[in-house]
Structure 1
């Protein structure tokens, strides 16, 4: 803990010259914050874009390694690769975070969240992160933010890319990527496989064995210009995994996740663009005790989105709607096994001189919870060529999951009397970009009504309850600095959470660290590249009653790369260099010092 405090003090002293690790500049184009293509410096929100180059430079095998380096994000994990992970964006839990794959909603309707541990980075072209509520554009699940994952898209001459990795815990991974295309048609195909023996997931010694993980991935994406004004595309991703863990009745899970979709972009007139996406995501979990089948939880989510973007001079009017149907099939009986939601949304982007405005409204009709209206308004002001500020206010709601409402198990049970969560958010942001220095800061407050929390009912039995009032406040500082051939990036997050009602009034919300810090340093020496990453978090509480406290941690990663030729590279990474022992969930280990060696061939 003392080492963390020293690291945090040092970072605070230099926070004006450090920024978000592994993020692109403010000129990076993103579409998630407003459902309309903008550069990050145009968006009236806190956004980050992680590109394919960022992914390869980081040498990450998991999305967790990328997300924890972003401002305002913390990740909990229950024992290593493939084990259950939760992503907190500005203190908002995973079930308040909408995840999209190529515009298609994904996630488990039973859990109410997306299984980030099943993301296959070999399939990913870029990741867009929006911190803060977006329910006024996307509806339920977007109360805390949105993460959109875009799969790889081919271009240029037909090429075959290969990569192979070996590392600690007998980790082996390999990918084959075939891609090509031009202005008229393009495609990408990717196959991947990863196997690791893992380590003992639990720290209590109850089941002292290695808990391995293996996964196979397939990604296909293609598109073509049907006419001068019509572009059509289709995509398919599959992840087939087997995860070993230390459980009560089962010890192995087979997980199959699929996303399939088609999309169309039609330029109806010079000022009217129509976009449509039809998709299905499937999350299928089967649990086994040894070779004996134990249980199954399967979610199928069908979505259709239609969006019109109408140019009105320099301004843009967006009108659209979407429908979503969730179905669950489980070996555990649920009172309801399907749910339907319809949403209509409108947005107006207004540009007037140095002022930018964003107005959005949405109406959702949920089969289980009736009608909900959400809205947001934001104003940005460009003071000069360097400095820009913005302020935003938005409302959001999040419907309880099927598990929240209907699950009945040995150690937990649902609560059919739960109400949807509601929230109000206020944010003030600043962005500045100089020749070699970028700076940004955001201060925000979110107030919740009926926040859903799983509470210990005694005897290791848990059930969800509505917390009448809760509050989250935070400050994010990010910056990036280039000095000669050195690139320094990093961020600081200060988070203050509070339960404001009930038996746990005055307590911190569980599993949210109040301080997060990241620093990355990179340098190119001809064909060699060097990099180092520091990630630090202070203490958090594992439960709502704040009786189980987890200590802070600080880990350091080192990276080395060598370009043998323009197309062939060798990369090496050492994670958790100082072999720090820590937990993000009580009772579950995190990886010790890890080594990874990668050889990659990608014609350029």
Structure 2
């Protein structure tokens, strides 16, 4: 790694003052995304972070991007405020290398090949699981950088209404109304929400006007548990957004819907069958003024059959079949508008005394690019009673999007999938009440898709499999709870390097090479206070590394006061020092802003 010795020394200096993810580690909480089966946080062999509903409310975040930004290895770029085009860079990989699921259903635009992060609705979220590192051997395409799975709100307890209203700077207003209930055998939740903001001038040049954003959403989930451990659950969510921005097109309407059902069948004490099916829609329109410009519609149908088989006392075999069908419609004419993907996968978890081994393999058969096999292996071993060592290796791939392959006038139907492999070494443990983890990793990409002339000297460009890249990184994270204090933080050192062409040796564009977060929270009975420091180093805005954006740091303060058992008021000051910065060249970020909230939330 470039400047590895400097990075390690810096990490060592920072470690004593930084304490882990933006949220405390929940060692006994259960994750399902890392291995497609239930494991507690301390049992999983993956680098993972859990964000609960309590974390979301304590942070007073407005968007999914807000809450993700404070987790290890995550960098968010944004083109001008709430609702504007955003990207997630997880450990230096791009958004198209990140698989995002909602209640197990694959979402996103098949034309773009990624999810519009800015339109994800935080009011609908119960919890978020973030798994860093490749997971193609379990989930297929798009999971080279990792997987983020969003679970919508479920509901429990007696029939309970709730509402939350907020108002703040830039004409920002939020409202959320919910009703939930249930017991051990049945549950339901319905949540309606909306966010509206006048925004600010998104671009540094061009029109001088405020660029607003409006988003309305509805989420419903209902489930039933039967005798024998069988479960059935159905869910639906919809989000409608209207966006204003500067450019040739200056307005956009997007609708995202997810409809799904899952069932768990306990065939025997040793065998469980998990069934899930769903459909997601992504419909987007753009306008120039009031004149229609373009339309893109994606429909994704998915089906999964998974078997969890316990062998002996501890060994577990997971195997199954996934099916995905993508269909697109557009105001533009594409040569192909549909593709199917069948996949078979298996994972074997093998305890070996004190250590654990995990093997996974998957074969994807796509009607456009053929068959692709990925695999993974992880080994965890305790070094002593307080420290665990984990070594892992995994391969991944990314299928070309419909735009890459068939966009009228510029697609390249000869593209093949991008490929990658990742090595990771991790140490984690607990020392005097401090939960900590440090990870060292390297990801190498081949056949990366980039724009290039179709022939030497040609003025016509098209997507091509021409690039290679190598990303090396070091993460340190920890958290500590003492009496009424909660301290948490993380630091990431990332070396994302172009390894081919005229830009070989340059840093990949838009990636900061250092990211740090520090969080402090303190409860004083009915009053809770907190602060967050987020910092990123400089980045380059082009592949030639001739244009750069400066690093920045922001400070957020938050407070919450429990007026009564069911009433709470909250206040948040973001970017307290009014720092001016950009994460995408030419696009402004919000200055100092305030948000005030009133919440009615019976327990």
User: Normalising by the residue count of structure 1, what TM-score does the alignment of the two structures yield?
Assistant: 0.95
Verify: 1:245 aligned to 2:245, yes or no: yes
Q: Which residue of 2 aligns with 1:379?
A: 379
Aligned-pair CA distance for 1:247: 1.8
Aligned-pair CA distance for 1:128: 0.1
After alignment, is 36-45 or 427-436 more displaced?
Answer: 427-436
2: CA distance, partners of 1:18 / 1:337: 49
Verify: 1:439 aligned to 2:436, yes or no: yes
Q: Which residue of 1 aligns with 2:415?
A: 418
Aligned-pair CA distance for 1:385: 3.1
Verify: 1:168 aligned to 2:165, yes or no: no
Q: Which residue of 1 aligns with 2:446?
A: 449
Verify: 1:321 aligned to 2:328, yes or no: no
Figure out how many residues of one structure are paired with residues of the other and give that number. 593
Verify: 1:594 aligned to 2:588, yes or no: no
Aligned-pair CA distance for 1:383: 2.7
What SS does the corresponding residue of 1:54 show, helix, strand or coil?
helix
Verify: 1:337 aligned to 2:334, yes or no: no
CA 1:200–1:566 in structure 2 vs 1: closer, same or farther (change >3 Å)? Answer: same
Aligned partners of 2:242 and 2:254 also within 8 Å = yes
Aligned partners of 2:103 and 2:151 also within 8 Å = yes
CA 1:477–1:459 in structure 2 vs 1: closer, same or farther (change >3 Å)? Answer: farther
Structure 1 residues 162-198: Cα deviation after superposition (integer angstroms, max 9, x where no partner): 1000000111110001000012211000000111000
1: CA distance, partners of 2:567 / 2:25: 24
Q: Which residue of 1 aligns with 2:153?
A: 152
What SS does the corresponding residue of 2:564 show, helix, strand or coil?
coil
Verify: 1:87 aligned to 2:84, yes or no: no
What SS does the corresponding residue of 1:66 show, helix, strand or coil?
helix
Aligned-pair CA distance for 1:272: 0.3
Q: Which residue of 1 aligns with 2:392?
A: 392
For residues 360-371 of structure 1, what are the structure 2 equivalents within 5 Å?
360-371=360-371
Q: Which residue of 1 aligns with 2:3?
A: none
What SS does the corresponding residue of 2:339 show, helix, strand or coil?
strand
CA 1:41–1:54 in structure 2 vs 1: closer, same or farther (change >3 Å)? Answer: same
Aligned partners of 1:17 and 1:437 also within 8 Å = no
Verify: 1:308 aligned to 2:307, yes or no: yes
Aligned-pair CA distance for 1:417: 2.9
2: CA distance, partners of 1:104 / 1:201: 32
Q: Which residue of 2 aligns with 1:289?
A: 288
Q: Which residue of 1 aligns with 2:185?
A: 184
2: CA distance, partners of 1:12 / 1:461: 50
Q: Which residue of 2 aligns with 1:20?
A: 21
What SS does the corresponding residue of 2:158 show, helix, strand or coil?
strand
Structure 1 residues 176-227: Cα deviation after superposition (integer angstroms, max 9, x where no partner): 01000012211000000111000011012x1111000001100000011244
What SS does the corresponding residue of 1:246 show, helix, strand or coil?
coil
2: CA distance, partners of 1:436 / 1:316: 32
What SS does the corresponding residue of 2:416 show, helix, strand or coil?
coil
What SS does the corresponding residue of 2:342 show, helix, strand or coil?
strand
Aligned partners of 1:23 and 1:48 also within 8 Å = no
CA 1:391–1:449 in structure 2 vs 1: closer, same or farther (change >3 Å)? Answer: same
Q: Which residue of 2 aligns with 1:111?
A: 112
User: Normalising by the residue count of structure 2, what TM-score does the alignment of the two structures yield?
Assistant: 0.95
Aligned partners of 1:120 and 1:217 also within 8 Å = yes
Aligned partners of 1:180 and 1:188 also within 8 Å = yes
Aligned-pair CA distance for 1:522: 0.5
After alignment, is 134-143 or 464-473 more displaced?
Answer: 464-473
Q: Which residue of 1 aligns with 2:207?
A: 207
2: CA distance, partners of 1:542 / 1:559: 32
What SS does the corresponding residue of 1:157 show, helix, strand or coil?
coil
Verify: 1:512 aligned to 2:533, yes or no: no
Aligned-pair CA distance for 1:65: 1.0
Q: Which residue of 1 aligns with 2:493?
A: 494
Aligned partners of 1:16 and 1:439 also within 8 Å = no
Aligned partners of 1:22 and 1:58 also within 8 Å = no
2: CA distance, partners of 1:89 / 1:516: 11
Aligned partners of 2:450 and 2:467 also within 8 Å = no
1: CA distance, partners of 2:151 / 2:240: 19
2: CA distance, partners of 1:566 / 1:336: 57
Aligned-pair CA distance for 1:265: 0.4
CA 1:540–1:380 in structure 2 vs 1: closer, same or farther (change >3 Å)? Answer: same
Q: Which residue of 1 aligns with 2:133?
A: 132
Q: Which residue of 1 aligns with 2:61?
A: 60
CA 1:140–1:567 in structure 2 vs 1: closer, same or farther (change >3 Å)? Answer: same
Verify: 1:535 aligned to 2:559, yes or no: no
Q: Which residue of 2 aligns with 1:428?
A: 425
Aligned partners of 1:96 and 1:145 also within 8 Å = yes
Aligned-pair CA distance for 1:387: 1.0
Aligned-pair CA distance for 1:11: 9.5
Aligned-pair CA distance for 1:542: 1.4
Q: Which residue of 2 aligns with 1:407?
A: 407
Verify: 1:574 aligned to 2:576, yes or no: no
CA 1:504–1:425 in structure 2 vs 1: closer, same or farther (change >3 Å)? Answer: same
2: CA distance, partners of 1:265 / 1:236: 18
Aligned partners of 2:154 and 2:221 also within 8 Å = yes
Query: Unmatched 5+ residue regions in structure 2?
Result: 1-5
Aligned-pair CA distance for 1:228: 2.8
Aligned-pair CA distance for 1:466: 2.3
What SS does the corresponding residue of 2:501 show, helix, strand or coil?
coil
1: CA distance, partners of 2:197 / 2:385: 50
Aligned partners of 1:356 and 1:379 also within 8 Å = yes
Q: Which residue of 2 aligns with 1:467?
A: 466
CA 1:144–1:328 in structure 2 vs 1: closer, same or farther (change >3 Å)? Answer: same
Q: Which residue of 2 aligns with 1:261?
A: 260
What SS does the corresponding residue of 2:170 show, helix, strand or coil?
coil
Aligned partners of 1:22 and 1:66 also within 8 Å = no
2: CA distance, partners of 1:242 / 1:462: 32
